[in-house]
């Protein structure tokens, strides 16, 4: 139920709001671009997490630590991040998916999108889908002025 102040005060209204498409807005050669984007939810977020978690740095026994600067690990991590980004863009931006329909594997999606959209454009679409219009408290959390709730 929405109040007079325009606030959402029920879960039903939250769910309705989450189902609405977003607008990814940016400028390209001084022209405004507005692309419809769906929020990244459920399955796409889990698939994204799986891609990111699958890459682990090698463990160095002598140091009893992970080698996070290992060149092979860094290459695999970067590839996983690019595939995860492409997955979100493909699933959440219907216009992008329409250009290369039917892709499922993250490697295929990345290979298809790489020549179509530069990384900064993909990143803007991904950020819109991931943020999903959630604005409240983001700046405070990013600047560490809003602490997470205490569990004590």
Q: Residue 132 has what pLDDT?
A: 76
Q: Residue 148 has what pLDDT?
A: 54
Distance CA 125, CA 48 (A): 15
Q: Is 4 part of any domain?
A: no
> Domain of 60?
39-128
pLDDT, the chain, mean:
87
**pLDDT over 70, % of the chain:** 84
Q: Which of 59-63, 69-73, 135-139 is least confident?
A: 135-139
Residue 102: pLDDT over 90? yes
Name the pLDDT band for 5 (thresholds 50, 70, 90). confident
Q: Residue 6 has what pLDDT?
A: 78
Distance CA 148, CA 131 (A): 18
- Count how many domains the chain has: 1
Q: Is 103 part of any domain?
A: yes
Q: Is 67 part of any domain?
A: yes
Q: Is 150 part of any domain?
A: no
Q: Is 25 part of any domain?
A: no
Question: What does the pLDDT average to over 137-143?
Answer: 49
Q: Is 83 part of any domain?
A: yes
Q: Is 56 part of any domain?
A: yes
Question: What does the pLDDT average to over 129-140?
Answer: 65
Q: Is 120 part of any domain?
A: yes
* pLDDT tens digits along 16-29: 988 899 999 989 89
Q: Residue 71 has what pLDDT?
A: 96
CA dihedral angle for residue 105, residue 111, residue 114, residue 116, rounded to 10 degrees: -90
Are the C-beta atoms of 96 and 58 separated by less than 8 Å? no
Read out DSSP for 79-146? HHHHHHHHHHHHHH-HHHHHHSTT--SHHHHHHHHTTTS-HHHHHHHHHHHHHTT--TTHHHHHTT-S
């Amino acid at each position: 139920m929405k109040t007079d102040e325009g606030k959402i005060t029920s879960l039903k209204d939250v769910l309705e709001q989450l189902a609405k498409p977003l607008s990814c807005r940016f400028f390209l050669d001084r022209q405004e671009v507005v692309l419809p984007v769906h929020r990244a939810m459920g399955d796409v977020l889990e698939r994204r997490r799986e891609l990111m978690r699958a890459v682990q740095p090698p463990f160095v026994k002598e140091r009893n630590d992970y080698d996070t600067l290992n060149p092979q690990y860094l290459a695999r991590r970067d590839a996983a991040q690019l595939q995860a980004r492409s997955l979100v863009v493909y699933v959440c931006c219907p216009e992008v998916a329409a250009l290369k329909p039917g892709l499922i594997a993250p490697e295929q999606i990345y290979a298809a999108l790489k020549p179509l959209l530069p990384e900064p454009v993909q990143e803007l679409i991904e950020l819109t889908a991931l943020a999903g219009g959630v604005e409240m408290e983001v700046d405070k959390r990013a600047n560490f002025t809003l602490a997470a709730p205490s569990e004590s």
